[in-house]
């Protein structure tokens, strides 16, 4: 892995894929690395005095002519002072909409918004500070199981979901749901996996012989490519192991572009295999 800042734009056939940036925040390092001992993970990432580790929220823009797709909107600004302090939440680049404008796209031009699962750090930015959806012309997609969890979370899920993130999208008639696998457009699909959450999904783009995959929380950062590095946040660790064992080798063998939501420095990476160990590999 190179220490340099990774690339933020890649071409996939006719599609231009750009890493955007919403907020940066921090979560408990132990929770982020699950059963991996601190003596190992503390060498991989900076650690704050409160034992949290810094993380990005990287939405991605997929553009092909007039089709402009936002994958995973971001954490959003609807957080009180207490939460902002606890999660070290900041928007150094202004947040999702500023990042989108810097890429030359107005929110009204966004045609699709794809949400892999309903956790608040992934979909909070789908509504603005006024509580209304920020992409008024976009078809919004989320797995049916994640819609259910977000709108009516039980005690196990309550800490990870907020109904107010998704209800306005439902009320505006903008939300579509799927089960299993869903073609969004030719060459672009969402694949429901589960493990991390009930219906966490991959977004897979294939065009012109190239493949890009958005990993959501199945592989949150380049430090989570090695198969045993499963977060303690995952609802079903055995299922996470299964889906990671199936998909990470496939991505490495296929030389896919991998789009990582929580990686601060390497949002777009290839995966490599050395012996039995998978890792992120920075490619110019
Ligand atoms: Zn999540």
pLDDT tens, position by position, 246-279: 999 999 999 999 999 999 999 999 999 999 899 9
| pLDDT in the model for residue 220 | 98
**Does 4 map to a domain?**
no
Segment 92-98 mean pLDDT: 97
Task: Tell me 5's DSSP state.
Answer: P
| pLDDT in the model for residue 281 | 83
Q: Domain limits at 245?
A: 9-281
283 pLDDT higher than 80 = no
Distance from residue 161's CA to the centre of ligand 1 (Å) = 9
* Strand pairing class (188-192; 201-207): antiparallel
187 pLDDT higher than 70 = yes
**Does 153 map to a domain?**
yes
Q: How far apart are CA 279 and CA 110, in angstroms?
A: 33
5 pLDDT higher than 70 = no
How many domains does the chain contain in total?
1
Distance from residue 87's CA to the centre of ligand 1 (Å) = 15
Tell me the pLDDT band of 284, cut-offs 50, 70 and 90: low
Output the CA torsion sign for 30, 283, 183, 136. positive
Distance from residue 235's CA to the centre of ligand 1 (Å) = 10
Distance from residue 233's CA to the centre of ligand 1 (Å) = 8
Segment 209-228 mean pLDDT: 97
- Are the C-beta atoms of 271 and 252 separated by less than 8 Å? yes
1 pLDDT higher than 70 = no
Distance from residue 117's CA to the centre of ligand 1 (Å) = 7
| pLDDT in the model for residue 4 | 56
Q: How far apart are CA 272 and CA 190, in angstroms?
A: 23
Please tell me the pTM assigned to this model: 0.96
Q: How far apart are CA 87 and CA 89, in angstroms?
A: 5
Distance from residue 54's CA to the centre of ligand 1 (Å) = 16
Segment 204-211 mean pLDDT: 98
- Are the C-beta atoms of 60 and 71 separated by less than 8 Å? yes
Distance from residue 208's CA to the centre of ligand 1 (Å) = 31
**Does 3 map to a domain?**
no
**Does 247 map to a domain?**
yes
Joined tokens for residue 144: 């049916």
Q: Which domain CATH number covers 252? A: 3.60.15.10
Distance from residue 220's CA to the centre of ligand 1 (Å) = 9
**Does 1 map to a domain?**
no
Distance from residue 159's CA to the centre of ligand 1 (Å) = 11
């Amino acid at each position: 892995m190179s220490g340099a800042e990774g690339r933020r734009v890649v071409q996939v056939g006719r599609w231009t894929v750009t890493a955007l940036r919403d907020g940066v925040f921090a979560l408990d390092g132990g929770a982020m690395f699950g059963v991996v001992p601190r003596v190992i993970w503390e060498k991989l990432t900076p650690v704050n005095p409160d034992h949290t580790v810094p993380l990005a929220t990287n939405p991605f823009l997929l553009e092909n002519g007039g089709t402009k797709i936002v994958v995973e909107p971001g954490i959003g600004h609807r957080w009180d002072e207490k939460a902002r302090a606890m999660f070290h939440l900041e928007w150094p680049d202004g947040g999702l909409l500023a990042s989108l404008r810097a890429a030359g796209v107005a929110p009204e031009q966004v045609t699709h918004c794809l949400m892999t699962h309903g956790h608040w750090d992934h979909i909070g930015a789908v509504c603005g500070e006024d509580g209304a959806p920020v992409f008024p012309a976009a078809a919004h997609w989320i797995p049916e199981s994640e819609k259910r969890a977000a709108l009516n979370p039980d005690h196990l899920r309550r800490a990870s979901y907020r109904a107010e993130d998704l209800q306005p999208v439902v009320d505006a008639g903008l939300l579509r749901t799927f089960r299993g696998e869903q073609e969004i457009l030719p060459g672009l699909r969402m694949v429901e996996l589960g493990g991390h959450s009930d219906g966490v999904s991959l977004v897979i783009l294939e065009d012109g012989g190239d493949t890009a995959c958005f990993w959501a929380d199945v592989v949150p950062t380049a430090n989570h490519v090695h198969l045993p590095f499963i977060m303690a946040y995952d609802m079903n660790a055995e299922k996470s192991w299964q889906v990671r064992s199936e998909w990470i080798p496939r991505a490495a063998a296929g030389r896919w572009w991998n789009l990582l939501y929580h990686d601060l420095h390497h949002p777009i990476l290839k995966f490599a295999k050395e012996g039995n160990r998978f890792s992120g590999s920075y490619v110019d």
